[in-house]
C-alpha cells in the first residue's frame, strides 16, 4: 500500500471499489508529460521549513517540494530518453492583474524568482513553457492545439499542487478525451491530507494514479510513431 493510500479510510475505499470506481487505465499511442507549476514560487528555497517557505512565497509547499524534486527529474529524464513531448506550466503573472487569480486566495507573489524552475528540472530548448492564468493548464490556453499537433492521446502529470493545479489540469485533460495518468511521488502539496484525498479522488474518477517505478515499463515503449 502506498503512503497516500494509508490515509484513506478502508471502509470508504472498499465502497468505491464495490461501486466500480478505482479502475485501471491503459496508455494510448503517444504520451506527453505535463510538469505543472513546479517553480520556486510553489516550492520555496531548498532547506526551508514550511513556515519559512511560506514567508518567502505564500504559495510555497516547503519540504514536500524538495522530496519530490529528484523524482520529477527522473520522470523528465524518462520522457527525454523517449523523445516524447514535455510541457512545463507556470503562472502568467502579468495576466493575473487582468484575469484575476487562479484561486480565491491572495495574488501570487511577485518576489524575484517566483517563476524560476529548480535547476534539476530546468526546461530545455525543445520543451514548451506554457504560461497560464488559472488553475488548469487547459483553461484558455493553446495546449489542446499543441497536443493535437504532436499526435498526443495520453497525458502524464506531475507537479504542484496535487489538490489545485494538478487536479484541475487532470480533470480538464480527461474531459478533453485524453488518457490521463498521475505519478503520485512526483506530485506534492502543502497539505498531506489534501495530497492523499485528491490522489484518491482522481484515481476513482479521472485518472490512473501510478508510481514512478510503473512509468518506465509503461511509457518506455510509449514513444510510438513521431508526430508527422
Q: In this structure, what C-alpha cell is assigned to residue 28?
A: 494510448
Beta-bridged to residue 88, according to DSSP, are: 35, 129
Contacts of 70 (CB under 8 A, 6+ apart): 120
CA distance linking residue 144 with residue 141, whole number of Å: 8
Active site residues: 165
Instruction: Give the separation between CA 199 and CA 4, rounded to whole angstroms.
Output: 8
pLDDT in tens, 159-190: 999 999 999 999 999 999 999 999 999 999 99
Instruction: Report how far apart the first and last C-alpha atoms of the chain are (Å, whole number).
Output: 41
Query: pLDDT by residue (tens digit) across 50-59?
Result: 999 999 999 9
* pLDDT given at position 107: 58
Q: Which residue has the higher pLDDT, 100 or 198?
A: 198
The domains located in the chain, with CATH, are 4-14+21-104+117-219 (3.40.50.850)
The pLDDT of 92-120, averaged and rounded, is: 80
Q: Does the pLDDT value for residue 49 go beyond 60?
A: yes
Q: pLDDT confidence of 1, banded at 50, 70, 90? A: confident
pLDDT tier, 219 (very low <50, low <70, confident <90, very high otherwise): confident
Angle at 192 between CA 128 and CA 178, to 5 degrees: 40
Give the whole-angstrom CA distance, residue 6 versus residue 178: 29
pTM over 0.85: yes
Amino acid at each position: 500500500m502506498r503512503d497516500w493510500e494509508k490515509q484513506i479510510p478502508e471502509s470508504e475505499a472498499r465502497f468505491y471499489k464495490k461501486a466500480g470506481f478505482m479502475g485501471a487505465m491503459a496508455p494510448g499511442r503517444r504520451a506527453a508529460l505535463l510538469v505543472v507549476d513546479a517553480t520556486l514560487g510553489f516550492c520555496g528555497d531548498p532547506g526551508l521549513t514550511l513556515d519559512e517557505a511560506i514567508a518567502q512565497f505564500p504559495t510555497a509547499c516547503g519540504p514536500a517540494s524538495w522530496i519530490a524534486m529528484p523524482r520529477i527529474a527522473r520522470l523528465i529524464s524518462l520522457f527525454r530518453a523517449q523523445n516524447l513531448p514535455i510541457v512545463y506550466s507556470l503562472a502568467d503573472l502579468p495576466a493575473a492583474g487582468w484575469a484575476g487569480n487562479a484561486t480565491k486566495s491572495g495574488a501570487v507573489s511577485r518576489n524575484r524568482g517566483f517563476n524560476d524552475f529548480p535547476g534539476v528540472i530546468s526546461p530545455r530548448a525543445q520543451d514548451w513553457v506554457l504560461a497560464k492564468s488559472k488553475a488548469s493548464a487547459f483553461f484558455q490556453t493553446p495546449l489542446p492545439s499543441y497536443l493535437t499537433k504532436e499526435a498526443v492521446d495520453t497525458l502524464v502529470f506531475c507537479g504542484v499542487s496535487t489538490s489545485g493545479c494538478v487536479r484541475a489540469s487532470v480533470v480538464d485533460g480527461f474531459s478533453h478525451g485524453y488518457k490521463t495518468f498521475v505519478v503520485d511521488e512526483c506530485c506534492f502539496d502543502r497539505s498531506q491530507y489534501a495530497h492523499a484525498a485528491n490522489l484518491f479522488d482522481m484515481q476513482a474518477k479521472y485518472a490512473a494514479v501510478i508510481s514512478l517505478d510503473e512509468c518506465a515499463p509503461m511509457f518506455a515503449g510509449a514513444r510510438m510513431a513521431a508526430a508527422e
